[in-house]
Amino acid sequence: MTTTIADPALLATLTAGAAEVLPKGGLEAKLALGRPLRIKLGFDPTKPDLHLGHAVVLNALRRFQDAGHQVVVIIGDFTARIGDPTGKEAARPPLSAEDVKAHAETYLQQLGKIIDLSRAEIRTNATWLEPMGLTEVIQLCGHATVAQMLARENFAKRYERQDPIALHEFLYPLLQGQDSVAIQADVELGGTDQTFNLLMGRELQAAARQAPQVVMTFPILEGLDGVQKMSKSLGNTIELTDGPADMYGKTMSIPDALLPSWWRLASGRSPAEVEPHLALLAAGQVHPRDSKMALARAIVSLYHDEDAAREAEDGFVRQFQQRELPTDIPEVRIPASDRPLANLLVEAGLATSASEARRLVTQGGVKRHDGPEPVVLKDPLAPVALSLEPVILQVGKRRFAKVFQA
């Protein structure tokens, strides 16, 4: 059931973690309408997997759904072929329709981990953007100026450097705004880097004589490196498709400095639960390691379940705190013959190519376990003999294989 007044408890729940709600008082006014609101969130399926950075806004979407509102997820199958210039300092290569379709199918599977797909409206923006004629596109362009576009930081930097800016990149915010017109959005959610695009939706709705949407932005989640935003292309992500052990282990690898933002944005816990914990952490009454373990349990429980979280923690403690090997190491059988270590890593599925394998070895990231202490292997060309006894190889912190002679 929706609420006819913007009661403080509901408002606090819906805006938890939000960086900004525009215009001020706008969400309260929408809630006071006393009907289910249409809550928009768009994704361009540029990569096959969603990660915890995407989940920040998805969890906010779920809170609206739980409050009885209609969530509308836009799969940007048309805009993904253009490329969102937001946060980019170079034009993004366009994707093929085939790539976009394949990625979109995986998105729907992963969205179901957070929102109830049976109660969600899933739309693809090619439905209304592809049929637009040139006259309509030109009319759409009349709602924005070149000065507006060049005021955006990423465009301003590229313009100052005299780097190319293609005209189609200016179209992207207009097309995203047109999505809001097409579905008659009441509220649109997005990251803080999307503010310009979200506000464009308000302008286009007003021009179409619709009530402009409320814009809610959320902070960008930093990646595992603690430096840059979580991004698949940077390899600093926790994917929603990661298994419990990987999800737990990756969370334990984050820098201590990320604990406050990750608790607030990625744990799925309410501010009433999170803030007292962070106060104890800041006062030194909770050790960062213990806070990180609690965070890892919370994250795994959110995307798997509590039993999986306990098993992942037990495995982590055995492997890293008690220096025991995992109990479920994959077994690989390979035809007998000595082969260089780099080749063996590829055949065992521990590296994707011989060049990656050589890099892992030279960086000290490969170990062999056949004694009381693991041995770091340093020569990618050293021959490895196989027998009926397993050779246990480790790459990085979490990848293992038992390699036997076939």
Identify the structural domains of the chain with CATH numbers, from first to last. 8-218 (3.40.50.620), 242-321 (no CATH), 331-405 (3.10.290.10)
For residue 172, give every residue at least 6 positions away whose Cβ sits within 8 Å of its Cβ, in sequence order, or none: 79, 82, 83, 84, 85, 86, 197
Q: How many CA atoms lie within 13 A of 173 on its CB side?
A: 28
Which of 27-36, 234-243, 365-374 is predicted with the least confidence, judged by mean pLDDT?
365-374
The two three-digit tokens of residue 246, written as one number = 């990987």
CB 171 within 8 A of CB 141: yes
pLDDT at 323: 66
Between CA 250 and CA 244 the distance in angstroms is 10
CB 110 within 8 A of CB 241: yes
What percent of the chain is predicted at pLDDT more than 70? 92
pLDDT of 299 strictly over 70? yes
pLDDT at 121: 96
- What integer best gives the mean pLDDT of the chain? 87
Quickly state the pLDDT bin for 3 (edges 50, 70, 90): very low
The angle subtended at Cα 388 by Cα 385 and Cα 389, nearest 5°, is: 80
For residue 365, give every residue at least 6 positions away whose Cβ sits within 8 Å of its Cβ, in sequence order, or none: 395, 396
Q: For 122-141, what is the mean pLDDT?
A: 93
pLDDT at 322: 63
- Please write the tens of the pLDDT for every residue from 167-214: 888 888 999 999 999 999 999 999 998 898 999 999 999 999 999 999
Between CA 194 and CA 41 the distance in angstroms is 11
pLDDT, greater one: 25 or 375:
25
Phi and psi at residue 75, in whole multiples of 5°? Answer: -90, 115
- Please write the tens of the pLDDT for every residue from 30-88: 999 999 999 999 988 777 778 999 999 999 999 999 999 999 999 988 888 776 665 55
Distances (CA, A) of 16 to 19, 190, 264, 270: 9, 14, 9, 8
The two three-digit tokens of residue 330, written as one number = 């994959």
pLDDT at 5: 57
The two three-digit tokens of residue 228, written as one number = 């840059």
pTM of the model: 0.72
Is the backbone of residue 295 left (phi > 0), alpha (psi -120 to 50) or beta?
alpha
